[in-house]
Amino acid sequence: MKKTILVAVCVAAATAFPAAPSQAAQAVLVVDDNGAQCPGAPFTTIQAAITAASPGDEIRVCAGTYNEVVTVNKANLRVVGPAAAPIGTACRQAGAPDPSRQAIIQSADGSGTVRLAENGITFSRFTVQNNTSSYGIVTSAAHSGHQVRQNMIQENVFGVYFNSSGTNLSEVEQNCIRQNNEPGSASGNGVYSDAGLKNADIETNTFSGNENSGVLLDAVAPGGVGNVRVNRNISLADRAFAFIFKSSNVSVGSNIIQDNFGAPGIFFGDSNTNLRITSNTIDRGFLGVRANAFGLSPNTNVTITGNIIRNSESSTVGHGISVAPSSLTNSVISRNIASDNAGDGIRIDAGGNGGNTIDSNVARGSGMLDCRDSTTGTGTDGTANTWIRNIGPNAAPSGICL
């Protein structure tokens, strides 16, 4: 039966889908809501095809509108739509999806529209939208190997509820994730995790217009977020790009962040260890990189290096890099450029922020001070930290930057 489906239907659908990988699926099942794009397709709903499929099969979904909840509960299924999402500025500018070219999945189910509930599932090239009760896509924390790629995810309460056991690498990549601001719990986030995320990549996505953040990673206990890479994304007019809490061995690198409003471009809260914030560009935002543990466990062994932070706009907190009281210890801030920010270039507040090394940074054109360290101790110029080779003509105390 499956071989018949493969031969009879795939000729009509072949031009609309990417080539299958070299490890070919056991069978290909084709879905078309109305038979217009793929005449003769044996399934009119995605869920019916999943029910008929075996682990390892491929489900090809032709263009149309699918008003259904999709639960993918068989391992290693590939569920593939006909059109990749736009990325970069095209993501921000894209209009309404076209059901003659795109496969649109929408529902208002309170447990998510698309649910990846087994290991090794690929879900790609769809538009998932209009969940006014919950998230667009959810990946199971009991499984891993999730691949969410090249989708448009928009106008849900939040976009992707990303969780993973960490056994195998899980990925959210090359998606356009925008305007996920419907009212509800965790509203306004593009990618959100609070139930455990291990061994995962969030890379080369475009986020736009999410009114809390592009990415928010949190956990019940320290280390609950572990071995995660948030790299090479673009954030355009999100409130913030990234909020990170209770993580271990997470990198946030080579992201382009523009026009964030009302919050830092990159924010890390409490209990992060071995967090690396490297080579990001943050431009025209509210403020740049911010650490604030809110009185909980401070962050330690954090590296903030090679970032360019410029034109932060807040007249009161528009700092380039800033550390709230009791938020950062035994960490390195190095080789960053903070220019033309409305607040301080680099700022470390008093209270518990000791043992840090601030090395070879450049801070210029700041509306307040280029360099500020309000701690006290046996470090540079009476501070609790070591400042070496920094350039910043306006500093307090004066010896921390030259």
- Cβ atoms of 159 and 181 closer than 8 Å: no
Residues in contact with 49: Cβ distance below 8 Å, sequence separation at least 6, in sequence order: 29, 30, 31, 43, 59, 61
- The confidence band for 11, taking pLDDT boundaries of 50, 70 and 90, is very low
Q: Which two tokens stand for residue 30?
A: 């084709």
Encoded amino acid at 230, one letter: V
Check whether 4 has a pLDDT greater than 50. no
In order of 83, 88, 155, 386, 397, the CA distances from 401 in angstroms are 52, 37, 46, 11, 8
List, in order, residues 6 or more apart from 180 with CB less than 8 Å away: 135, 136, 153, 154, 155, 156, 157, 158, 159, 187, 188, 189, 190, 210
Tell me the mean pLDDT in the region 55-73: 98
CA angle, corner 313, sides to 308 and 318, nearest 5?
75
Higher pLDDT, 318 or 14: 318
Please give the biggest Cα pair distance in the chain. 79
> What is residue 26's predicted lDDT score, i.e. its pLDDT?
85
Average pLDDT over residues 147-163: 98
pLDDT at residue 9 tops 50: no
How does residue 20 score in pLDDT terms, banded at 50, 70 and 90?
low
> What is the band of 300 on the pLDDT scale with cuts at 50, 70, 90?
very high
In this prediction, residues 184-192 reach a mean pLDDT of 97
How much of the chain, in percent, has pLDDT values that exceed 70? 94
Q: Where are the beta strands (DSSP E) in 179-286?
A: 189-193, 197-203, 206-208, 213-217, 225-231, 234-236, 242-244, 247-253, 256-258, 264-268, 276-278, 281-283
pLDDT tens, residue by residue, 325-355:
999 999 999 999 999 999 999 999 999 999 9
Residue whose C-alpha is closest to residue 106's, from 80, 69, 151: 69
pLDDT of residue 25: 52
The residue type of 11 is V
pLDDT score recorded for residue 5: 40
Give the pLDDT mean for 60-80: 98
Mean pLDDT, to the nearest integer, of 293-299? 97
Length of the chain: 402
So what's the pLDDT on residue 196? 86
Q: What is the DSSP letter of 111?
A: T
Q: Which of 6-20, 64-78, 184-198, 289-303 is predicted least confidently?
A: 6-20
Of 16-30, 82-96, 295-309, the one with minimum mean pLDDT is: 16-30
Mean pLDDT score of the chain, rounded to an integer? 94
Segment among 1-5, 107-111, 139-143, 361-365 with least mean pLDDT: 1-5
Q: What is the pLDDT of residue 309?
A: 98
Q: Tell me, what's the pLDDT at 24?
A: 54
Q: Please report which residue ranges of 57-186 form alpha helices under DSSP H.
A: 89-93
Q: What confidence category does residue 17 fall into, taking pLDDT thresholds of 50, 70 and 90?
A: low
